[in-house]
Amino acid sequence: MNAHDSEIIAGMLRQRGYKIIDSLDNADIVLFNTCSVRQHAEARVWGKVGELKKLKAQSAKLKIGIIGCMAQNYKEKIFERLPHVDLVCGATNMYDLPDLLKNLNNSDKKVLAVNKSQRDPRKKIDISKRENSVKAFVSIVEGCDNYCSYCIVPYVRGPEVSRPVNVIVDEIKRLVDDGVKEVMLLGQNVNSYKSTVDSPQLTDNKKQFTVYSSQFTGDSKNKKNDFVKLLEKLNKIEGLERIRFMTSHPKDADEDLFKAISGLPRVCEHLHLPVQSGSSRILGLMNRGYTREDYFKKIESLKKTVKDCAITTDIIVGFPTETEKDFNETIKLMKEVEFDSAFIFKYSPRNRTKAALLKDDVEYEIKQERNQILLQLQGDISKKKNEALVGRTLEVLIEDVNKKNKAEFVGHSRQDKLVIFKKNKHSLGKLVNVRISSSTNHTLIGETE
C-alpha cells in the first residue's frame, strides 16, 4: 500500500511539472513516504532524515518532507525532533500534497497537514508512471475499522471507506488500455469492501454516504458480499488477464470468496490470510476476532474449494505474555497448514494502540530466537513445496528482464511463485507456459515449452 501511495504521489507531482531525479544533491524537494507498522521502519526514517541535516544547511532552497503514517502519528513532534524538516503531511492528507508543496515554496513557514480523518474515496487516481508496466496496484478500501490491539493503521489511515465501484472499474479499464495485464486490489481488509454511491459526500471528516449493493447486476436476493461481487464484475473486463488482492481478514474470508477464487478465470489461486499467532489466547489479546480452530476451518474449506491454491500469511512472535506453550501452538499451526511463504515479525509496541498498554514482557533475545525458529521452519516448508513443483508446467506472466541476468525473464505463476527462465521470442506482458526444472526456497527456475 505504501508502494502504491508513492506511485500516486509521483504521479500527482509530475502533473504539476515536477521531475523525479536520482541525485539527492540536485534535489529541490526530498520526500519520505513512511510506515508506522513496525518500529524498525520508523527507526530507518529517523536515521535517514537525520542524515540530511548537513545537506539542508548547505542548500537554502532544499525542502524536506515526511509524509504518510509517521506524519499522521507524530504530527508536530517531527519538527521538534528534526527541526530541518519543512513539511509533515499525514496519510489521509496525501491528495493535498501538490498544493501543500506550492504553499511551502511560497513561504518560509513550515507546513503541517494532518487534519483529515480519511481520504476521499471518489478520487480517480491518474498515475503517469508506475513501477511496472505490466502489473498495477489498485486501491479499493482506505483505512480500517478492525482495531487489532497491536496495529496502528486505524489511527493513522482513518476509518474504513470504500471507493465507488465505477471509479475502480474505470481505473482498471484505463490501466488495461495502457497495457497492464494484472491488477492487485488493495485494502487493509478487502473482504469488508462495500459498494457505494457514485459521489459520496464527505462532511466534517466523516463518512456521509449510503451503501448500495444493487449497483451490481444479478439477483437482488444474492447474499454474496460486495467484495465477491466486485471480483465478478472485474472478471468481465476484456484484456485483463489476472486479478489478485491483499489483504483478507480471516474473520471475514468465507466460502463465497473461496468459490470466487476457484470459479472466476481471472482471479488467481493465491490467498494471503494473516494468522498472526497459533494461540487462541494470544489471538484474543490481539482482538483478531477468531480462534485457532476458526482459522483451521477456513483453511480446510479453502483447500477443499480451490485446487492448487497458494496460502501465505503474517505471524508476530513475542506478543506480550506469549509463553513457550503459545509459541509451540504457532509452530504446530505452521506445520499443519504448510504456508507457501510467511512474513514473520518480532512484536514491537506501537503507541496509541491497546497492546501498548500491556507490558512488553517477552525479552528481545527470546523474540529473536523464536523469530529465527519460525523463519527456518518456513524456509524448510517453502523449499519442500517448491520442490514439489519441479517437472510441472505453470502459466507465467512475463513481468521484467532479470536484473541479475539480462538473458532471462522473470515473472510469477498464478500462485504468485517467482519464476525465472531464459528469454525467448515472447515479450513483456505475455502469458507463457514454463516447465519447472529446479527450485530454491523462494524461486522456481524453468524453460518455456
Cα gap 52→37, rounded to integer Å: 24
The pLDDT confidence band at residue 106, using thresholds 50, 70 and 90, is confident
Query: Which numeric CATH code is attached to 117-268?
Result: 3.30.750.210
The pLDDT confidence band at residue 113, using thresholds 50, 70 and 90, is very high
**Amino acid in the structure at residue 72:** Q
Q: Which residues contact 18 (CB under 8 A, 6 or more apart)?
A: 29
Smallest CA-to-CA distance from 89 within 116, 117, 114, 120 is with 114
Mean pLDDT value across the chain:
91
Domain borders along the chain are 2-113, 117-268, 302-388, 393-448
Q: Which residues pair with 434 in a beta bridge?
A: 394, 448
- pLDDT computed for residue 206 by the predictor: 40
Q: Which residues contact 213 (CB under 8 A, 6 or more apart)?
A: 194, 195, 226, 229
Class of domain 2-113: alpha beta
- Of all residues in the chain, what percent carry a pLDDT higher than 90? 79
**What integer is the mean pLDDT of 51-62?**
90
Around Cβ 43, how many Cβ atoms within 10 Å? 11
All three cell numbers of 425: 521470442
All three cell numbers of 372: 529465527
Cα gap 330→296, rounded to integer Å: 12
Q: Which residues contact 133 (CB under 8 A, 6 or more apart)?
A: 178, 179, 180, 428, 429
- pLDDT computed for residue 199 by the predictor: 47
Model pLDDT for residues 316-353, shown as the tens digit of each residue: 999 999 999 999 999 999 999 999 999 999 999 998 99
Q: What angle do CA 421, 422, 424 make, to 5 degrees?
A: 120
Concatenate the DSSP letters of all residues of 209-261 into one string.
Answer: --B-GGGS-S-TT----HHHHHHHHHTT-TT--EEEEE---TTT--HHHHHHH
In terms of phi and psi (left: phi > 0; alpha: psi -120 to 50; beta: otherwise), the region of 428 is beta
| Domain 302-388, classified CATH 3.30.750.200, yes or no | yes
Smallest CA-to-CA distance from 289 within 102, 440, 148, 393 is with 148
Instruction: Let me know if 268 is exposed, middle or buried by CB neighbors in 10 A (0-12, 13-18, 19+).
Output: buried
Judge if 117-268 and 302-388 fold alike in CATH terms.
yes
Peptide bond into 330 cis (omega under 30): no
Pick 393-448's CATH classification: 3.40.640.10, 3.30.70.141, 3.30.230.10, 2.40.50.140: 2.40.50.140
pTM: predicted TM-score of the whole model, two decimal places: 0.89
Q: Cβ distance 437 to 449 under 8 Å?
A: no
Cα gap 233→267, rounded to integer Å: 11
All three cell numbers of 175: 490501466
Model pLDDT for residues 80-104, shown as the tens digit of each residue: 999 999 999 999 999 999 999 999 9
Most confident of 13-27, 126-140, 240-254: 240-254
Cα gap 430→100, rounded to integer Å: 41
- pLDDT computed for residue 221 by the predictor: 43
158-172, 227-241, 402-416: which range is least confident on average?
158-172
- pLDDT computed for residue 133 by the predictor: 87
Q: Cβ distance 73 to 156 under 8 Å?
A: yes
97-101, 216-220, 227-231, 343-347: which range is least confident on average?
216-220
Model pLDDT for residues 18-46, shown as the tens digit of each residue: 999 988 888 999 999 999 888 888 999 99
